[in-house]
Chain A
Amino acid sequence: MKLQTKVGLGLLGLLALLAMVGPFVTVDPDAQLDLLHGTLQPPSLSHLLGTDEFSRDVLARLAHGAGISLGVGLIAVVVAALLGMAIGLWAGDSEGMAGKMLRRVINLGLAIPRIVVLLVLLSAIGAVPIWLLAVVLGMTGWPAMARLVRGETLRLRTAQYVSAAQALGATRARILWRDILPGALPPLLVAATLGIADAMLLEAGLSFLGLGAPPPAASWGGMLLESRSVMAVAPWMVLAPGLALVAATSAATLLGDALRRRLQPDVT
C-alpha cells in the first residue's frame, strides 16, 4: 500500500473515532459550560483545544461537528451518485430523441452554477435541518456524475460482451444492470470519493455564510463563522475546525486517488 493511502486511511480512522467516540467522552458541549474560568480560554489540560466565547469546550464541539461534516459529505455524495447513475445510464442507453433530450438535461444541469442554486434554495428554505442540507447538496451534485456515467455507458454499449448478451436474448434492463452498470461503477466510485471533499467544503462554506445548520449545531463551518469575530484573540477557534476540515477533505482526496490507481490503472 502506498504511503498516501495509509495517510488517508489513518486520517479517516481518526476522524471516525472523533465522530463516534468523541461525543461520549466529551459530554454535550452546550451543557458543559466552564464559566468559572471565563470565556475564550486558551488550550489547557482541562480544555485541550480551549473554549469559545460562550465558554463551551472546543474539542467537544469539534467532535459533534465531525459527525455532522462526515455525515453531510456521505449523504450528499450518495444522493448525487445515485441520481447521476440513474440519469446517466438512462441517457447513455436511450436512442434518438430521448437520448438527445437527456443529454440536454445533463448539460442544462451543468450550465447553472451549483453555488447559485444552493444559495437560492437555502436562503429560501430558511433554517435548514442538517439532513436537508445534505440532501440539497446531493441534489445539486448529480450533473457531473451523470455526465461521467453517460460517457461510460456509451462506451460500454458497443463492447463485445454486450453484443454477446444481446445476441443471447438478454433484456435491455438486464444488460444495463448486469453488464453496463458494473463497468461504469469504478469511475463513479472514484468521482464519488473525491466528491465527498467537495460536499464537505461546500457545507463548511455555506455554514460560514450562515446558510448551514443554525446554531447551536456544532458544524465545522458554523464554528469557523463564530470564530471570525474573535480570531485575533482566540486563534485556536479558527485552527481547530480549520485543520479538522483539511484533514477530512485530504482523507477523501487521498482515498479517491488510491481508488483510482486500484480501479482504473490505465487512467492517471
Chain B
Amino acid sequence: MIGWLFRRSADAVATALVAVVVLVLLVHLLPGDPLAVLIGEREVDAAQRAALAASWGTDQPIWIAVGHYLLSLGHGDLGLAMSENRPVTTILLERLWPTLLLGGLTLVIDFTVGLALGLWSALHPESWRARLIGALTVVGYSLPSFVLGMVLVSVFAQRLPWLPPAGLADLTLPLDAPFAATLVDRLKHLVLPLASMVIATIAVPLRQQRSAVMGTVTQPWVLAARARGVSPAAIAWRHCWRPALTPVVTLLGLWLPMLVGGAVFIEMLFNWPGIGSLIAQATASRDIPLVLGAGVLLIVMVQVGSLVADILYRVVDPVQRDQ
C-alpha cells in the first residue's frame, strides 16, 4: 500500500508538471502583445517597451521562459499579476476560499442528498416518486447552471426582493456589525449561487448511484439476505449500498475540478470572487501570469482529486486493497 501510494503520488506530480509545461507553452505561443495589459492606451517608445519586456521576461526565448516559470514554481512563486501588480499567489489565496465555500457546500449536498435520493429511487424503482425523480434528473442534468441562475435571480432577487442578486457580502454592512448580522448576510448571498450549482449538478451523482444500486439489488447475496430474514433497512444499507459505492468514489475524484471549472459561469453571473471568475477575467484582460497561476491551481486540483479518489477506491473496495 505504501509503495503503491508512493508510485501513484510520483505519477500525479509528474503529470501535473508536464501539464503545467504544456499550459505555459500554450499561453506563450498565443498571438498578441503580452504587454498590452500593462501599456494600455499609453504612448510608449521602443526603449521603454524593451525595458518593460526585459523586466517581465517576455523578450526571452520560450524554453527559457518555461524553465524560469518551473524554477519559481518550485519556490512557490507564481510571479506578479500584470493588471494589479500584486503577487499571483496572494490573489489566488484571496479567491480560493469563496470557491471552496461554494464548491465545497455543493459537493457535500450533491454527495449526501444526491446519493440518498439515488439509493432510494433504486430501491423503489416503480413508485411514482422515483419516476418523478428520474424525470427531474434528466431536466437537471441538461439545465445549464447559469440559465437556472438567471431565472432564480429574476424571480427571487428582482420580482421578489428577498435575496441579493450578486456578490459575496453586503458592502454597506459596517465592519463592526454583530456576528449574527454578518452571518445572515453571508448566507443570504450564498443561497442563489448555491441553489443554481446544486440543482444543475446533483443529477450526476444521483443517476450514477441509482444505476449502481440497481445493479446490486438483483444479486444473489441480496436474495439470500432477504431469505435469512435480514431487515429491509439492513439489506439496503449493507448489501445494496456498500458494493454500489465504488463508481460513486470514481465520480468524486472527477468532481473536485469540475466544481471549479463548472463554476466559471456561475461565478461570473453572481460576481462571486472565486477562482472560476478570476480565470475568466484574467483571460479577458490577457493577464498572462494570472491566467497561468489559476491554471496551475486547477491542474493541481485535478491531480489531487484523482489521487484522493484512487485512495478512497482502495478503501471501499476490499478486492483492490488486497492486491
Contact = CB atoms under 8 A, between A and B. Distances in A.
Nearest to A201: B144
Contact of B151 (A197, A201, A242): A242
B239 interface: no
A110 to B, nearest CB: 8
A232 B283 contact: no
Contacts of B189: none
B31 interface: yes
Contacts of B198: none
| Interface size class, chain B | 35 or more
Contacts of A124: 30-32
A115 B264 contact: yes
B19 interface: yes
B280 interface: yes
A233 to B, nearest CB: 9
A55 interface: no
Interface string B63-98: 000000000000000000000000000000000000
A205 B139 contact: no
B150 A245 contact: no
B268 A209 contact: yes
B154 A232 contact: yes
A113 interface: yes
B211 A108 contact: no
Contacts of B26: 117, 120-121
Contact of A235 (B147, B154, B294): B154
Interface stretch (A13-21, A127-135, A179-187, A249-257): A249-257
Nearest to A241: B147
B298 A116 contact: yes
A32 interface: no
B197 to A, nearest CB: 14
A108 B18 contact: yes
B32 A112 contact: no
A204 B264 CA distance: 13
B88 to A, nearest CB: 15
Given A205-B264, A235-B154, A242-B147, A113 B138 contact: no
Interface in B31-78: 31-32
A253 B203 CA distance: 12
Interface residues of A, number: 42
Contact of A224 (B139, B150, B284): B150
Contact of A231 (B154, B261, B264, B284): B154
A268 B214 contact: yes
A246 interface: yes
Contact of B279 (A116, A204, A224, A253): A116
A198 to B, nearest CB: 10
Given A120-B27, A124-B30, A235-B154, A115 B138 contact: no
B261 to A, nearest CB: 4
A142 interface: no
Nearest to A247: B142
Contact of B150 (A119, A228, A253, A257): A228
Interface string A215-237: 00000000010011001100100
B257 A113 contact: yes
Contacts of B146: 205, 208, 224
Given A120-B291, A231-B154, 15 more contacts: A107-B15, A111-B19, A113-B302, A115-B279, A116-B23, A116-B279, A119-B264, A120-B23, A120-B26, A124-B32, A208-B265, A245-B147, A250-B141, A254-B138, A268-B211
Interface of A: 4, 104, 107-108, 110-117, 119-121, 123-124, 197, 201, 204-205, 208-210, 224, 227-228, 231-232, 235, 238-239, 242, 245-246, 249-250, 252-254, 257, 268
16 contacts: A108-B15, A108-B18, A111-B299, A111-B303, A112-B23, A115-B262, A120-B291, A123-B284, A208-B146, A228-B150, A232-B158, A238-B147, A238-B151, A238-B154, A250-B138, A268-B214
